Structure 1
């Protein structure tokens, strides 16, 4: 059976439930995923005076072919994008500035240091998102930044975040699509704190100063990201979910939910509907925590499917901004991007091919037997045939054929990087 024949058979199965498959594929093609650049170089960046990776972040493995320059990183991103259906975005950290060998402190970064990225984005038809980098720096060596008791250190990081928002606005203006500029900090304490309130007061004051500087909201969208704990901040994190949810709601900012930043018994999928009731938009960083925030490559697991279901069944395709955040140096990095992003898109397709209206009706009627039966039966509907056709339609390899291209790229490009 050809891919087209498989698609036509599967299409009939889904259309029995009133699902317009062609319309679904059109919807899917317009859904951008923000792909994080730091998978390609193990969160290294290109600072002239780069420090050791810190902030509770750890990348394990030494697979050959890591990108060493902006040109190599962009080349690898292009390869990954050629294997992923749809038009997407790329998410940058401030450490990916290009300063032509000059030492530029993070609080002095300007749009000109990212002109190469903007030109590349224009050539490839992708939007850009941004993050200030508040880790891997001597002014973050003790694990505190915007909540630091030293006013001068706080001032440095406040200036860095202000500069980052201006860079985000530059991206949005140049590319014609708003940039999501997201603030995450590692601040916290390894052991039991004697004062939880004062650091949070300092963080609130720092954020107030950052957001007091006007930036065009048509070009830049501000977000804040929480975390439950980290390496070196096991007992207390200043920017908790409760802190940032309250701050975002009060100050009209987006609250960004990272799937690895919660207790192992919590799920982000269960938070989305509540957040949508009180926020116009919600942002996500999707990773795969294994026992802790270990940022494994995204797989098509139950939680990923449930996240997609929550976005689709609540008509929130235009209200949830989906980004990825994982890094694995034990496998081919281009393959990691490809696997993780394709899985995110697969999950969204899976959700779009589900008869949510009917399942909601069954729940309202109290018909939990039929609800459960259909939820389970749809798990084995011919979803894969639709996916394969979508890939072919979008001009990227179907099934596992993309892997051969990655292997060839490894032989011809990655293996020659020393």
Structure 2
């Protein structure tokens, strides 16, 4: 579709939405300013640069061996530059501790801000914020299946020190970039078969977390978050950091709660949890993913749940309290394409939610007119929102429709295949 056709289609759509009281220009401006935290680990299959040959553990698995995996931080930044150029709107980058850069080996309890200075310089050039995560997996001290809840004081202290060091790095990001870094703690701790003691590991985890966050850091630079999980590979029977544990912890300590779309029972969805959590937790982060067959972390699709997540954020005016992040990794397809598809779908869902007649739908619900409510909800799927998305991409100077794919294929031929 050429520029003229996109603009004509947009003007028609603009008029139709105006009849419903919706300002499409405002929706475009609003959605453009919503930062999406894009995860670095899609680019290298969660290997990192600490020890790329380290076996993955903690229930983390990647499938496939598509050409072009990033083998260095420079590779990864180059690939991110390409992906970012094809995605409209404000962006952040979410880093794990294993993505440090050092000329000499550095164990995780000894990581420092200086090991991430190149990432900060890159972020300044890209004008993006950075988020951070301790990496409590794929390490000799995590092989027993426990980290922050380990019964061995020395191993537990190692991971406490790692998380403390990570907080200092997160604070460094915030100070350097002028936007707070959200640091999310997730641990794979649990058991494959039924435990005799479910309480003691949770007591140890709580004590560890309390020690980690004991040093006060200004939230204008750094924010703490914790992430629950239902179960994992190798921890099918018992997960220490359950939803109940972390919901209580985040609420009682006034820190952020992370909701991962793949970390609950297959019949549960985080779109139903957002409003409930908002009553008790001041701020939280989302890990939007596609849990095909539970926590498989497939690339975010423009599916029902992704759209429902976006609607819950917009309908309840939660943009100021929700940090939208992504978490998927697929080594079976072009990794840059994976970033582009998943991130564009998340932003597309947010825009579509902003084009919904929210006030009218809520009033219909109060009036008990569920017939009209359902009819309007269903019509919204086929209205002219796509024309608004195309126009938004045009104005953001990114490819419209699937035109971005040719650029990725060209990059694959010139760069990825040469690795």
Residue 184 of structure 1 corresponds to: 186
Residue 135 of structure 1 corresponds to: 137
Matches for 1:15-164 after TM superposition, within 5 Å: 15-48=18-51, 51-100=54-103, 102-164=104-166
Residue 2 of structure 1 corresponds to: 5
Q: Is 1:387 equivalent to 2:394 in the alignment?
A: no
- Is the contact between residue 87 and residue 125 of structure 1 (CA under 8 Å) also seen in structure 2? no
Residue 276 of structure 1 corresponds to: 278
| DSSP-derived class of the 1:35 partner | strand
Deviation at 1:51, TM superposition (A): 1.8
The answer for unaligned runs of 5 or more in structure 2 is none
Report the Cα distance in structure 2 between the residues aligned to 1:282 and 1:106, rounded to whole angstroms: 26
Report the Cα distance in structure 2 between the residues aligned to 1:145 and 1:50, rounded to whole angstroms: 21
Deviation at 1:218, TM superposition (A): 1.5
Worse-matched range after superposition: 206-215 or 57-66: 206-215
- Is the contact between residue 51 and residue 138 of structure 1 (CA under 8 Å) also seen in structure 2? no
After superposition, the C-alpha distances for 1:177-224 in whole angstroms (9 at most, x for unaligned) are 000000000000000111110100000000010011222221000000
Q: Name the Cα RMSD after superposition.
A: 0.8
1:167 paired residue among 156, 166, 169 = 169
Residue 287 of structure 1 corresponds to: 289
- Is the contact between residue 254 and residue 282 of structure 2 (CA under 8 Å) also seen in structure 1? no
Report the Cα distance in structure 2 between the residues aligned to 1:376 and 1:236, rounded to whole angstroms: 40
1:366 paired residue among 344, 365, 368 = 368
Matches for 1:212-227 after TM superposition, within 5 Å: 212-227=214-229
Deviation at 1:281, TM superposition (A): 1.2
Residue 197 of structure 1 corresponds to: 199
Deviation at 1:21, TM superposition (A): 0.5
Deviation at 1:50, TM superposition (A): 5.3
How many residues end up aligned between the 2 structures?
416
Report the Cα distance in structure 2 between the residues aligned to 1:203 and 1:399, rounded to whole angstroms: 47
- Is the contact between residue 183 and residue 224 of structure 1 (CA under 8 Å) also seen in structure 2? yes
Residue 408 of structure 1 corresponds to: 410
Deviation at 1:369, TM superposition (A): 0.5
Residue 353 of structure 2 corresponds to: 351
Divergent runs of 4+, >6 A: none
The answer for unaligned runs of 5 or more in structure 1 is none
- Is the contact between residue 109 and residue 161 of structure 2 (CA under 8 Å) also seen in structure 1? yes
Report the Cα distance in structure 2 between the residues aligned to 1:392 and 1:252, rounded to whole angstroms: 41
Report the Cα distance in structure 1 between the residues aligned to 2:390 and 2:161, rounded to whole angstroms: 47
Residue 333 of structure 2 corresponds to: 331
Report the Cα distance in structure 1 between the residues aligned to 2:151 and 2:119, rounded to whole angstroms: 35
- Give the TM-score normalised by the residue count of structure 1: 0.99
- Give the TM-score normalised by the residue count of structure 2: 0.98
Report the Cα distance in structure 2 between the residues aligned to 1:218 and 1:320, rounded to whole angstroms: 16
Deviation at 1:292, TM superposition (A): 1.5
Deviation at 1:58, TM superposition (A): 0.4
Report the Cα distance in structure 2 between the residues aligned to 1:29 and 1:65, rounded to whole angstroms: 30
Report the Cα distance in structure 2 between the residues aligned to 1:12 and 1:166, rounded to whole angstroms: 50
Deviation at 1:48, TM superposition (A): 4.2
| DSSP-derived class of the 1:98 partner | coil
After superposition, the C-alpha distances for 1:350-372 in whole angstroms (9 at most, x for unaligned) are 10000000000000111100000
| DSSP-derived class of the 1:379 partner | coil
